């Protein structure tokens, strides 16, 4: 079954030395402890087990053998192999983080031999507006206009408020006066300011919500697991319930990304709010041999019409492939078990796989035009 990877990032186009490669297989910022390696992890095992054969190595080849072979083939060939082997029907590429160092959606689509669509990150647009220079009074309109332009042709918007203080913020729409005051404080900072002001983050979400409603595109919200820029307990999607309610009243589709270890909370929100969707994203590759259990937990409660597949792959094409492998294998194991126990028919299982793997993503991103 071809998959729609509804949330991923570009890959690094060039060759990577061991240190850089290992830097990308952890969500942490630091090298492994003395004497160890980031391959000593569930995701390290998954790379050795599932990615090595794509490079014509035996399963569980050593990290040294793996990286030597990857270098021999070259990054471009390795990237192409993994993206082709992922078996994608379409991919949605978020371009908001270190875009200059990663391949653009069009190049990703060429590697994957599948259409690639863009998702625009709200905070990156706000930071670009600040860099270009704008008066505080003009900021609200300048941001709305810049977002409109940046998101031309995008199939979704994304917010990373998870990385900017978490979900404890006031969910209401700030007044123009509050936004201008906050913009005055923010824009007076030197250099290229990172958007971390709570009022401006809220303003970003609400401006994004207006655009999402007009264009009929979903708003993606990073939740749960990620790099140490976030504080894990503050990114439980349940903390955003009031915002979720308000976005529902506005008619905006919300997609919680990744969510681990709060995928059960996300599944609950998806079960009770008709406009809420979710995935387990990078948890599929980072949990390696346990990915099937994470996927099974996500499927305990969530309606089959509300869960999506994504790899959340970033920088390494291994992850675009590993996500697809873990998702297909996990889903097959779970559904086979359900069929074996006569909890569902083979036809039910096919339909569930179709919904999670591609049809839900088509419905919310690719069919409204």
To Zn ion, the closest distance from the beta carbon of 268 in angstroms equals 22
Shorter beta-carbon distance to Zn ion: residue 63 or 281: 281
Interior/surface letters 269-288, b for 16+ CB within 10 angstroms, e for the rest: bbeebebbbbbbbbbbbbbb
Measured from the CB atom, is 70 or 222 closer to Zn ion?
222
Residues forming the site for Zn ion (CB under 5 A):
312
User: How far apart are CB 9 and Zn ion at their closest, in Å?
Assistant: 6
Q: How far is the CB of 88 from Zn ion (least distance, A)?
A: 16
Q: Round to the nearest angstrom and report the end-to-end CA distance of the chain.
A: 24
What is the rounded distance in angstroms from the CA atom of residue 103 to the CA atom of residue 101? 7
**In contact, 78 and 317? CB cutoff 8 Å:** yes
The size of the chain, in residues, is 369
> In the complex, what is the shortest distance from the CB of residue 158 to Zn ion, in angstroms, rounded to a whole number?
8
Q: Which is nearer to Zn ion, 27 or 65 (CB)?
A: 27
Cβ 205 to Zn ion shortest distance, Å:
17
Nearer to Zn ion, 5 or 312 (CB): 312
Nearest residue to the partner Zn ion, using Cβ = 312
| Residue carrying structure tokens 């007009």 | 214
Q: What angle do CA 194, 230, 258 make, to 5 degrees?
A: 110
For the bound state, the minimum distance from the C-beta of residue 277 to Zn ion, rounded and expressed in Å, comes to 15
Structure tokens at 308: 């999506």
Q: Which is nearer to Zn ion, 199 or 240 (CB)?
A: 240
Q: Specify the residue, 287 or 335, whose C-beta has the smaller distance to Zn ion.
A: 287
């Amino acid at each position: 079954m071809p998959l729609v990877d509804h949330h991923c990032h570009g890959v690094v186009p060039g060759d990577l030395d061991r240190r850089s490669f290992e830097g990308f297989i952890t969500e942490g910022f630091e090298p492994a402890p003395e004497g160890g390696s980031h391959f000593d992890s569930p995701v390290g095992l998954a790379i050795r087990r599932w990615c090595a054969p794509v490079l014509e190595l035996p399963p569980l080849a050593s990290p040294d053998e793996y990286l030597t072979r990857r270098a021999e083939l070259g990054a471009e060939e390795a990237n192409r192999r993994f993206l082709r082997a992922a078996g994608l029907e379409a991919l949605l590429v978020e371009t908001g983080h270190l875009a200059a160092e990663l391949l653009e959606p069009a190049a990703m689509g060429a590697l994957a031999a599948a259409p690639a669509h863009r998702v625009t990150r709200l905070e990156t647009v706000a930071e670009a507006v600040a860099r270009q220079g704008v008066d505080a009074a003009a900021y609200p309109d300048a941001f709305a206009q810049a977002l409109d332009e940046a998101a031309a042709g995008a199939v979704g918007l994304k917010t990373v408020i998870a990385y900017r203080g978490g979900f404890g913020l006031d969910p209401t729409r700030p007044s123009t006066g509050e936004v201008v005051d906050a913009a005055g404080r923010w824009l007076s900072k030197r250099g290229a300011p990172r958007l971390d002001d709570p009022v401006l983050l809220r303003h970003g979400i609400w401006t994004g919500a207006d655009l999402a409603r007009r264009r009929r595109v979903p708003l993606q919200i990073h939740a749960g697991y990620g790099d140490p820029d976030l504080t894990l307990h503050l990114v439980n999607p349940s903390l955003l319930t009031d915002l979720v309610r308000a976005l529902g009243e506005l008619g905006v589709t919300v997609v919680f990304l990744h969510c681990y270890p709060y995928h059960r909370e996300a599944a609950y929100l998806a079960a009770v709010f008709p406009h809420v969707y979710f995935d387990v994203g990078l948890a599929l590759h980072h949990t390696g041999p346990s990915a099937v259990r994470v996927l099974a937990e996500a499927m305990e409660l969530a309606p089959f019409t509300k869960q999506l597949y994504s790899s959340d792959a970033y920088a390494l094409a291994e992850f675009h492939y590993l996500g697809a492998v873990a998702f297909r294998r996990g889903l097959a194991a779970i559904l086979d078990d359900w069929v074996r126990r006569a909890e569902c028919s083979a036809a039910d299982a096919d339909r569930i796989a179709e919904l999670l793997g591609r049809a839900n993503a088509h419905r919310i991103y690719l069919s409204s035009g």
